[in-house]
Amino acid sequence: LLSEFVAESMQGLQSIEQDLLTLERDGGADKELVNRVFRAVHSIKGTGSYLGLDNLVSLSHRAETLLDHVRSGTREATADVTDAILGAIDALT
């Protein structure tokens, strides 16, 4: 189960790196793109929680919170925001 989780998570994280760069360019205007990135991070958090990977859950929760602010429109997907999320993704990989 753990090896499947790692493989799926790595695939998801690699695919959202480009999405984050696009998000930064459009400031989060593409809501479907924001939702896609949010779902990827949310899935990692949820499965990590199920597996008891507390550090992974904590880090992905922080990235998820930033993405949720972008989704709700309370924050723009600025370079600082996307850099923080990219940093979290780097740490998760």
Predicted confidence band at 8 (pLDDT cuts at 50, 70, 90)? confident
Backbone φ, ψ for residue 71 (5° rounding): -60, -40
pLDDT digits (tens, 9 = 90+) for 12-51: 888 888 898 898 898 888 999 999 999 999 999 999 999 9
Predicted confidence band at 6 (pLDDT cuts at 50, 70, 90)? confident
* Residue 26 CB neighbour total at 10 angstroms: 12
Per-residue pLDDT, 14: 82
